[in-house]
Amino acid sequence: MARPILVALLAVAFCGTAAADLYVNMGTSGGSWPSSPYVVTPVPGPDVPSWMPAQFNTFCVERYQTFSPGDYRATIDDDVLYAGGSTPVVLADDAKKIYAAYLNGALGSVAANVIQTSVWGARGYSGYSVDSAVGSVIGDAGSISGWNNVKVLNLWGRSGEDRQSQMVMTPVPGAGLLGAIGIGLSGWRLRRKKVIAGN
């Protein structure tokens, strides 16, 4: 019984969300560039995580880093990463909560540019703050469910330069782990029944 569980745990470890490497196309959801929210369309390929939607909206995490519509290499990480050896920065919890509230539909009446500047405010950029309407929503636990599963979608240019960081909602880690353990256990039980039936 220990072997199937070990295999399932190893599969989860090696197929984890935080180590994904892929290419994405960045665009805008409406209005002229660079209007937010931005639209991420994963470029089909073997490195696109199976859980990732075919297209999803997101917001910029870095205030002073620019990018243009087009394809970028992307990594999914816990931290905001910078090229050139600069120290990674943990994504602020309030930024994660703002994005989760947006995805959950709790910020439907708040303009996209207000959400964007609130993300920068949550990250502590000078001259920006979390809008009061956004702040009141992210204080409601029901509106921000899943916020701890928000990761950073770091974008990289052709030469490996930092082009921007966005946000992405990843699956609940425990659900994937329990599913993998369940698959491993059911496989073990089926093999065990075959062995018993064969005796």
The pairing of beta strand 21-28 with beta strand 56-58:
unpaired
- Which pLDDT value is given to residue 31? 75
At residue 199 the predicted structure's pLDDT band, cuts being 50, 70 and 90, is low
- Which pLDDT value is given to residue 158? 86
d(CA 119, CA 36): 12
The answer to the question of residue 84 being in a domain is: yes
**What percent of the chain stands above pLDDT 70?**
75
The secondary element (H helix, E strand) that includes residue 22 is: strand 21-28
The answer to the question of residue 168 being in a domain is: yes
- Which pLDDT value is given to residue 101? 98
- Structural domain including 84 reads 18-173
Place of tokens 């770091």: 154
- Which pLDDT value is given to residue 193? 42
d(CA 154, CA 61): 9
What three-state secondary structure class fits 128? coil
Q: What is the pTM of this model?
A: 0.77
Q: For residue 94, what are its two tokens?
A: 């309030």
Highest mean pLDDT among 12-16, 77-81, 184-188: 77-81
77 phi/psi in degrees, rounded to 5 = -135, 165
| pLDDT tens sequence across 130-176 | 999 999 999 999 999 999 999 999 999 988 899 999 999 999 665 44
Residue 40 reports pLDDT greater than 90: yes
The answer to the question of residue 94 being in a domain is: yes
The answer to the question of residue 197 being in a domain is: no
The answer to the question of residue 194 being in a domain is: no
The answer to whether the beta carbons of residues 155 and 67 sit under 8 Å apart is yes
The answer to the question of residue 6 being in a domain is: no
The answer to the question of residue 190 being in a domain is: no
The answer to the question of residue 8 being in a domain is: no
At residue 29 the predicted structure's pLDDT band, cuts being 50, 70 and 90, is confident
Give me the number of domains the chain comprises: 1
| pLDDT tens sequence across 76-120 | 999 999 987 789 999 999 999 999 999 999 999 999 999 999 999
